């Protein structure tokens, strides 16, 4: 969390009606009546527009509510001859708030020329450098601020943030630990330490730190989301899902926790729960292509094919198109399926699955064409056992049994767990008259999958 320090202007009471009004405004400010103070000092400026101190005070009072107007007033004060480190700092604060970072940097460096040992000025300069993307300058500035104020937790915290942005996770962890030691009850600092530990590849330590941060701020959405990510990095899927649920409860209108929960449930095979989460995410962002794709995929796997068609058609991604083809094929709409798979294979030839699907469609009716598709699949992935398995089937249907055997051997070489390939290899070998070798292949199929009924029947028969 980046904080910007404001600078309270201390005015010396001066004689005269105008200054009496300025002092009245200052008195109202000190009593907490900022609106009254602004109104009082505006009266002074109306009576005497060249009163630089009135502009200076009005600029200060407007910093939080209207930084653009504050900037105008503070610049006017400078034009009228007022100056000083506090004035420059407040103008820089207004510039940071309005994203005029270059001007802020100029003003803060001018202020440091007047008072070089101001830690708060250095802090704000670090903020300005960070926001303008000058990370190396920000790091150097925060380190300089540390030497001026070594026990300032905010400086160490911001140094950790820019080191993390730079990719120096070890340095960030060190800075956040130092910040936490100075401010152990600050939830944001503990959360930043947890995020840095996660980035440094220490997810278990990150979980511990983020859990502690949650005890300090149990309803902080960012901390809950970060803890969910840390749980996921440790492989704790159950707590990951629960924490994404908690994040979603904290901010019901946020897309990410609903989407991420859907992903987690999908990886656990809970397709119904995943579809529900993805649809909740789509209620927030109806056009997100990944949510549409994943919702449609989960709906297909749970038998909600019409809903799947709706979402997959809207997704527009290549993977959604491939999945939509699967849905159509399962419904007997083979022409539509083939059209989609062909479009996917043509537009994205490096994707394996459309080539395999097209080959499988043709393996019986047109095995020679199927082989072309499987060869295209092997161009996409030369180590696809599924492509070689398909070629084995196609060659067998063409009565090219030597070629079929060679294809099946390549399939089991690439994937020794492909029980179907071992079983078919046994059948082709048996067809060639080598029953002893065939039985060996049937046994390998059963080793890969003891429940393979075809391999079991063939092995027992021999």
Confidence band for 21, pLDDT divided at 50, 70 and 90:
confident
- Look-up: residue for tokens 């101190």? 53
**Per-residue tokens: 393:** 């089937």
Asked if 45 and 35 count as a contact pair (C-beta separation under 8 A), the reply is: no
What does the pLDDT look like over 396-413, one tens digit per residue? 999 999 999 999 999 999
Q: What is the CATH number of the domain that holds 396?
A: 1.25.40.10
User: What's the rounded mean pLDDT across residues 116-125?
Assistant: 96
Does some domain include residue 339? no
Question: Do 457 and 430 share a structural domain?
Answer: yes
What does the pLDDT look like over 146-190, one tens digit per residue? 999 999 999 999 999 999 999 999 999 999 999 999 999 999 999
Question: Do 437 and 387 share a structural domain?
Answer: no
Contacts of 317 by beta carbon, 8 Å cutoff, 6+ apart: 289, 290, 293
Question: Do 404 and 422 share a structural domain?
Answer: no
Confidence band for 123, pLDDT divided at 50, 70 and 90:
very high
Does some domain include residue 323? no
**Secondary structure element (H or E) that encloses residue 461, with its range:** helix 453-461
Domains in the chain: how many in total? Answer: 2
Structural domain span for residue 432: 416-462
Question: Do 405 and 421 share a structural domain?
Answer: no
Domain boundary among 369, 389, 410: 410
Asked if 63 and 71 count as a contact pair (C-beta separation under 8 A), the reply is: no
Tell me the pLDDT of the chain averaged across its residues: 94
Does some domain include residue 458? yes
**Secondary structure element (H or E) that encloses residue 337, with its range:** helix 334-347
What does the pLDDT look like over 409-445, one tens digit per residue? 999 999 999 999 999 999 999 999 999 999 999 999 9
What does the pLDDT look like over 225-255, one tens digit per residue? 999 999 999 999 999 999 999 999 999 999 9
Asked if 378 and 384 count as a contact pair (C-beta separation under 8 A), the reply is: yes
Does some domain include residue 215? no
Q: What is the 3-state secondary structure (H, E, C) of 181-245?
A: HHCCCCHHHHHHHHHHHHHCCCHHHHHHHHHHHHHHCCCCHHHHHHHHHHHHHCCCHHHHHHHHH
Question: Do 406 and 450 share a structural domain?
Answer: no
Does some domain include residue 378? yes
Task: Report the alpha-carbon distance of residue 351 to residue 349 in Å, rounded.
Answer: 5
Asked if 169 and 200 count as a contact pair (C-beta separation under 8 A), the reply is: yes
Does some domain include residue 176? no
Q: What percent of the chain has pLDDT over 90?
A: 94
Task: Report the alpha-carbon distance of residue 20 to residue 25 in Å, rounded.
Answer: 9
Task: Report the alpha-carbon distance of residue 126 to residue 138 in Å, rounded.
Answer: 5
Does some domain include residue 93? no
User: What's the rounded mean pLDDT across residues 71-85?
Assistant: 96
Question: Do 404 and 452 share a structural domain?
Answer: no
Domain boundary among 388, 410, 432: 410
Question: Do 428 and 384 share a structural domain?
Answer: no
Task: Report the alpha-carbon distance of residue 395 to residue 403 in Å, rounded.
Answer: 6
Does some domain include residue 383? yes
């Amino acid at each position: 969390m980046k904080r910007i320090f404001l600078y309270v202007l201390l005015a010396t009471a001066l004689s005269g009606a105008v200054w009496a009004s300025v002092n009245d405004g200052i008195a109202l400010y000190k009593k907490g009546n900022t609106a009254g103070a602004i109104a009082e000092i505006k009266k002074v400026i109306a009576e005497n527009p060249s009163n630089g101190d009135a502009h200076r005070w009005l600029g200060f009072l407007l910093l939080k509510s209207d930084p653009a107007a504050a900037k105008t007033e503070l610049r006017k004060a400078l034009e009228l001859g007022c100056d000083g480190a506090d004035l420059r700092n407040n103008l820089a604060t207004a510039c940071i708030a309005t994203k005029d970072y270059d001007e802020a940097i100029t003003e803060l460096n001018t202020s440091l020329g007047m008072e070089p040992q101001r830690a708060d000025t250095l802090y704000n300069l670090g903020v300005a450098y960070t926001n303008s993307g000058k990370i190396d300058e920000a790091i150097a500035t925060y380190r300089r601020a540390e030497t001026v104020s070594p026990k300032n937790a905010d400086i160490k915290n911001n140094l950790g943030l820019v080191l993390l942005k730079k990719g120096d996770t070890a340095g960030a962890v060190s800075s956040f630990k130092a910040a936490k030691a100075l401010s152990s009850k600050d939830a944001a600092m503990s959360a930043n330490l947890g995020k840095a530990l996660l980035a440094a590849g220490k997810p278990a330590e990150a979980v511990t730190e983020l859990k502690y941060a949650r005890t300090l701020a149990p309803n902080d959405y960012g901390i809950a989301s970060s803890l969910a990510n840390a749980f996921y990095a440790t492989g704790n899927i159950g707590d990951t899902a629960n924490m994404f649920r908690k994040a979603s409860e904290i901010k019901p209108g946020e897309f990410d926790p609903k989407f991420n929960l859907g992903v987690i449930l999908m990886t656990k095979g809970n397709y119904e729960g995943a579809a529900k989460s993805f649809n909740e995410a789509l209620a927030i962002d109806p056009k997100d292509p990944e949510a549409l794709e994943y919702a449609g995929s989960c709906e297909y796997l749970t038998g909600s094919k019409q809903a799947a068609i709706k979402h997959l058609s809207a997704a527009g991604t290549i993977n959604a198109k491939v999945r939509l083809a699967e849905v159509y094929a399962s419904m007997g709409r083979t022409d539509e399926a083939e059209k989609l798979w062909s479009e996917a294979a043509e537009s994205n030839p490096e994707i394996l699955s459309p080539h395999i699907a097209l080959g499988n469609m043709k393996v019986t009716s047109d095995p020679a064409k199927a082989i072309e598709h499987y060869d295209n699949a092997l161009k996409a992935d030369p180590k696809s056992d599924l492509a070689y398995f398909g070629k084995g089937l196609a060659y067998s249907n063409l009565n090219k049994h030597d070629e079929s055997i060679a294809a099946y051997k390549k399939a089991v070489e690439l994937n020794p767990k492909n029980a179907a390939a071992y079983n078919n290899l046994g059948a082709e070998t048996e067809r060639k008259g080598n029953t002893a070798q065939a039985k060996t292949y049937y046994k390998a199929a059963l080793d890969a999958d003891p429940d393979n009924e075809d391999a079991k029947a063939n092995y027992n028969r021999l």
